[in-house]
Amino acid sequence: MYAFDVVRPSSLDEAVAALGEEDAQALSGGQTLIPTLKQRLAMPSKLVSLTGIADLQGVSADGGTITIGGATPHATVAAEAGSFPALAQLAGNIGDPAVRNRGTIGGSLANNDPSACYPAAALGAGATITTNSRAIAADDYFQGLFTTALDEGEVVTSVSFPVPEKAAYVKFEQPASRFALVGVFVTKSGGDVRVAVTGASNDGVFRWSEAEAALSGNFAPEAIDGLSVSGDDMISDLHGSGAYRAHLVGVMTKRAVAAANG
Amino acid sequence: MAEITLTVNGRSVTKSVKGNTLLVEFLREDLRLTGTHVGCDTSQCGACVVHVNGKDVKACTMFAVEADGAEVATIEGEAAPDGTLSAVQAAFQEHHGLQCGFCTPGMVMTATALLRDNPKPTEAEVRDYLEGNICRCTGYHNIVKAIMAASGQDVTSIAAE
Ligand SMILES: Cc1cc2nc3c(=O)[nH]c(=O)nc-3n(C[C@H](O)[C@H](O)[C@H](O)COP(=O)(O)OP(=O)(O)OC[C@H]3O[C@@H](n4cnc5c(N)ncnc54)[C@H](O)[C@@H]3O)c2cc1C
Ligand code: FES
Ligand code: FES
């Protein structure tokens, strides 16, 4: 690793001010950033730790919405997001217990890894990502591989999920990393169905609109019989070809719908 | 450099560390607590697992400065001062839960965290909890058996020695 300082502010204002300095970068759980630093793929002058800021911690449920502080670790979401079981279950299946004790929702959404789980939940549930300066709808937030609507130095302070009537997340795990080879998050609220797919596309998480249309008429696995996504724009690597991932999108969507129907 | 004060295995320690010093480097090199191992340095293997404020974490993927003010527990603190092994350690010995022993500190710390939250796990829960701990020798069987035994459950029906 290159040399850098780490500061641990206790308030958001201090953190935002520190992030305004040249080459400063946010550090949350470090489960993605520390490996990146070890590979010398980043050269920040200063890391601004967000985990000591009380306002960025915790899970709260209010009416039909569940709000998660930006620096809340996956283990806390798994334990405390009981009013949105599909989300709690997703958090409880990220990586392994030690990763879940450190890794956070804000870090995952800021990073927007094409194989990460939380982006599927945020897009699939129509979440709102709140930062120190604004609120961003999930539909506008994800902008391709490792790219988001966040500006330099902008901090994800919380994420609010409207709790759907029915929901499920099903991931086909890449067995070594436990990231999603393909993961699908499906929600239904009244006639509104959303299907968000992670792990598959070269453009990162996306909504499968044909499946959404079919499922809003008939929320059953058979509704998407005959539908498929093209393998052309899918990630192709040693774990699976684009065609294989495209096939998995259909299979995982059906399983997610079946699971959401309980 | 930043000065940090933390408790390691019940003892207060104050030292200056660089920002990019990993917690595992601090434990091994500054405190000479070499029981915590580095197997991969890429957050995959779990040989470096320690407890920070009671939670199991990979010490290769956390900075020492982030442990300022925390209570850290490492494998060195698991046995009693007179050398009496913890329940998990004793079960690893009794059930042959190790061969070369390289993964063992991380396995013991992970298992200890599991049993604190879930004192009577099923075999499936034990295997699931060990997802981030890799062992290249044992095939996991006797590790799982040892953890089940440490939880006070009957392991006679867990076959294959
Ligand atoms: C072994 C292993 C297995 C894993 N398996 C999975 C898996 O199955 N599914 C999955 O989804 N993920 C998985 N992960 C990734 C894990 O969930 C990470 O914790 C997560 O992607 C990043 O969160 P973090 O808090 O660790 O962020 P960090 O590593 O601290 O930061 C990541 C990036 O986000 C920025 N950042 C952090 N917080 C904020 C914020 N609040 N606002 C703005 N920017 C911010 C940082 O500057 C950095 O660029 C795995 C990781 C490991 C090591
Ligand atoms: S050395 Fe930390 S996980 Fe392998
Ligand atoms: S006993 Fe050798 S790696 Fe586990």
Any idea what the CATH number is for the domain that residue A14 is in?
3.30.43.10
Say yes or no: A1 contacts chain B, CB-CB below 8 A.
Answer: yes
Residue A200 lies in domain? 166-260
Nearest to A98 among B42, B46, B68 (CB): B46
Q: What CA–CA distance (Å, rounded) separates B35 from B104?
A: 9
The answer to whether the Cβ–Cβ distance between A6 and B66 falls below 8 Å is yes
Note if the pTM is more than 0.90: yes
Q: Which protein residue's CA is at the shortest distance from atom 50 of ligand 1? A: A95
Regarding whether A105 and A16 lie in a shared domain, the answer is no
Q: What CA–CA distance (Å, rounded) separates B124 from B143?
A: 13
**B113–chain A nearest CA distance, Å:** 10
Residue in chain B closest to A176 (alpha carbons) equals B44
Nearest to B56 among A27, A38, A97 (CB): A97
Q: What CA–CA distance (Å, rounded) separates A238 from A240?
A: 6
**Can you read off the two tokens belonging to residue B127?**
């295997």
Average pLDDT value for residue range B1-17: 97
Regarding whether A44 and A94 lie in a shared domain, the answer is no
Regarding whether A103 and A173 lie in a shared domain, the answer is no
Give the DSSP H/E element, type plus range, for residue B81: none
CB pairs under 8 A between A and B: 72
Cβ under 8 Å to B: A residues 48-77: 49, 51, 75
Regarding whether A256 and A221 lie in a shared domain, the answer is yes
**B31–chain A nearest CA distance, Å:** 21
Residue range(s) occupied by CATH 1.10.150.120 in chain B:
87-150
* Cβ proximity of B79 and B70 under 8 Å: no
The last residue of one of the domains, among A101, A128, A162, is: A162
| Statement: residue B160 has pLDDT above 60 | no
What is the C-alpha R_g of chain B?
A: 16
| Statement: residue B159 has pLDDT above 70 | no
In DSSP notation, chain A reads ----EEE--SSHHHHHHHHTSTTEEEESS-TTHHHHHHTT----SEEEE-TT-GGG--EEEETTEEEEETT-BHHHHHHH-TTSHHHHHHHHTSS-HHHHHH-BHHHHHHH--TT-SHHHHHHHHT-EEEESS-EEEHHHHB-STT-BSPPTT--EEEEEEEPPSEEEEEEEE-TTT-SEEEEEEEEEETTEEEEEEESSBTT-SEE-HHHHHHHHH--SGGGGTT----STTB--BTTB-HHHHHHHHHHHHHHHHHHHT-
The last residue of one of the domains, among A118, A146, A162, is: A162
Residue in chain B closest to A79 (alpha carbons) equals B117
What is the total count of domains within chain A?
3
Residues of B in contact with A37 (CB under 8 A): 20
| Statement: residue B161 has pLDDT above 50 | no
Residues of B in contact with A176 (CB under 8 A): 44
User: What φ, ψ does residue A244 adopt, rounded to 5°?
Assistant: -65, -45
pLDDT digits (tens, 9 = 90+) for B21-70: 999 999 999 999 999 999 999 999 999 999 999 999 999 999 999 999 99
Regarding whether A105 and A172 lie in a shared domain, the answer is no
pLDDT digits (tens, 9 = 90+) for A81-103: 999 999 999 999 999 999 999 99
Tell me how long chain B is.
161
**Can you read off the two tokens belonging to residue A30?**
């470090």
Q: What does the pLDDT profile of chain A (262 residues) look like in tens digits? A: 999 999 999 999 999 999 999 999 999 999 999 999 999 999 999 999 999 999 999 999 998 999 999 999 999 999 999 999 999 999 999 999 999 999 999 999 999 999 999 999 999 999 999 999 999 999 999 999 999 999 999 999 999 999 999 999 999 998 888 889 999 999 999 999 999 999 999 999 999 999 999 999 999 999 999 999 999 999 999 999 999 999 999 999 999 999 999 9
**Residue type present at position A224:** I
Q: What CA–CA distance (Å, rounded) separates A66 from A72?
A: 13
Determine the pLDDT at residue A175.
Answer: 82
Regarding whether A226 and A182 lie in a shared domain, the answer is yes
The answer to whether the Cβ–Cβ distance between B66 and A96 falls below 8 Å is no
Q: Which protein residue's CA is at the shortest distance from atom 3 of ligand 2? A: B43
Q: What CA–CA distance (Å, rounded) separates B22 from A37?
A: 11
CATH number at residue A132: 3.30.465.10
Regarding whether A36 and A79 lie in a shared domain, the answer is no
| Statement: residue B148 has pLDDT above 70 | yes
Q: What CA–CA distance (Å, rounded) separates A122 from B51?
A: 31
Say if domain B2-77 classifies as CATH 3.10.20.30.
yes
Spatial CB neighbours of A56, under 8 Å, sequence gap ≥ 6: A12, A50, A69, A70, A71, A72, A106, A157, A158
CATH number at residue A207: 3.30.390.50
Q: What CA–CA distance (Å, rounded) separates A76 from B77?
A: 26
In CATH, the number for domain B87-150 is 1.10.150.120
Regarding whether A183 and A120 lie in a shared domain, the answer is no
